[in-house]
Structure 1
C-alpha cells in the first residue's frame, strides 16, 4: 500500500512499514478502508484475469505480501495456483496466514521480479506496488512480467496515478487526504499521510502509465478502475 495507516497510526517511512511486526500484523485492515473500492477492484481483477486464463491457471502476483489479492483470487477460482513475490519476509508470512486454507495453492518467493519463476504464466498482477519504484525500474518490471507471460495473457496493475497539470497533483492528493479523514483517520494524521505519499512515491500520469505498458510489449492497455488517486489497467502480453 501507499503508507501504513492502521488504527490512527501512520508510518511515514514507507520501507519500515513492511518490516515493523506490529504494523505488518495490522496491514490487512488497511487497503479495504483506505483504497477506494479496494475489494471491488480485486473482484474486477479476478474477472479480467479469468477472461483469458484456463480453469487451472497459474498466476503471478508481484508485490503479493499480505495475501489479500491471492485470497480473493483463490476464492474466485478454485483451481488456480499462484506464485507470489514480495521483498518482505514478514509480509510473506502474513500472506500465508491470510490465505489460510488456500495457502497450499500458493508458492511464495522473497525478493523482486528477478526472483520470480520464469513461467510461462497464464496471467499476472502488480497491485499497489509500482508507485514504490522510479520510472526506469517500472519499465524494467513491466518488461520482466511480460517476458514471463503466455502470449495473450492478461496483466492487471493498479497503483497511484494522477493526471498531468500544475494543479492536479495537489488537488488529487488533497482529495486522498480527505478520503482518509472520511474513513476515520484523524485530520492531522491524514495530512501526514498525504505528505508521505507526495514525498516518497513515484506517481505518474495515466498517460505515462499506459505508455510504460506499451513500451514493455503489452497491447490494449485499458483503464478498468479509478478510485480518486488510484487507477488500474488491464493489458495483454
Structure 2
C-alpha cells in the first residue's frame, strides 16, 4: 500500500522535529482527544491490552495512552523513519512497552490486537486506499475490539468545502502571506471525506456500532468495534 502524502517533503527530519509542537497548536483539544481515546479503548480492552497504533510517528498518542495505562503494550506503525525517531524520544520511559515499525498497515503484525488507534492519519490516505486500510486494521483485531479514529473531515460540496478549508488554515495560525498556499495544499494534497462518507467507509470495512465522539473545527473522531 502507498500513502503518497507521507512520502513528500512534509515528513522530512525538519518537519518531524517540529511536529509535536505544531500539532498541539493546530488540533483543537488534542490532549482531551488523547484522554477520550484512552477511555474508549479501556472500556472494552483487557487490562494487559495489545494496542495497534497506525500513524504512530511523533509518538504523542503513544505517550498519552502509555501514561494512563501501565499494563498496555503497543505496536506503532508509520512510514516515516524521521517521525519514528521523534516517537522514540516522545514515549521516553515507555519505550520498553512500545514496538515501532516503519511501513504501512500491510507491514503491521497480524495480531490479533485488543484495540487499534489511528489519529490524525487517514486524511493522508487516498480514497482508493482508505477502505483497504480500514479492512486491514479490522482483521488484525479480536472480535469486538474497539477502534478509535480521528482526522480531518468536513463537507465536500461547495461552497462549504472552501469555507471549511479557510477555517482550518485560520485556526492553525498560518501567516497571512502563506494562507493561500496552505489552502491550496489542503485542497489538493489531502484526501478529505465528508463526515457521512467517513462513517460509511468505517461500516463498509466491517466496524459495527460506529459513533461520533469528537468534533472540533475541521476534525472528527469515531469509535467502532471489530
Please confirm whether the aligned pair reaches a TM-score higher than 0.5, indicating the same fold: yes
**Aligned-residue offset at 1:31:** 1.1
1:159 match: secondary structure: strand
1:210 aligns with one of 196, 199, 211: 199
TM-score (norm 2): 0.94
Instruction: For structure 2, list consecutive stretches of 5 or more residues without a partner in the other structure.
Output: none
1:59 and 2:46 aligned:
no
**Aligned-residue offset at 1:225:** 0.6
Q: Is the 8 A contact 1:180 1:190 kept in 2?
A: no
Q: Name the structure 2 match of 1:6.
A: none
Aligned pair count reads 222
Q: Name the structure 2 match of 1:35.
A: 27
TM-score (norm 1): 0.90
More divergent stretch after superposition (189-198 vs 129-138):
189-198
Q: Name the structure 2 match of 1:129.
A: 121
Q: Name the structure 2 match of 1:79.
A: 71
Q: Name the structure 2 match of 1:16.
A: 9
1:78 match: secondary structure: coil
1:152 match: secondary structure: coil
Instruction: For structure 1, list consecutive stretches of 5 or more residues without a partner in the other structure.
Output: 1-11
Q: Is the 8 A contact 2:148 2:224 kept in 1?
A: yes
Q: Name the structure 2 match of 1:102.
A: 94
Q: Is the 8 A contact 2:45 2:115 kept in 1?
A: yes
2:129 match: secondary structure: helix
Q: Is the 8 A contact 1:36 1:227 kept in 2?
A: yes
**Aligned-residue offset at 1:93:** 1.0
Q: Is the 8 A contact 2:78 2:101 kept in 1?
A: yes
Inter-partner Cα distance in structure 2 for 1:188 and 1:180: 14
Q: CA RMSD in A?
A: 1.5
Q: Name the structure 2 match of 1:186.
A: 175
**Alpha-carbon distance change, 119 to 14 in structure 1, aligned in 2, over 3 angstroms:** closer
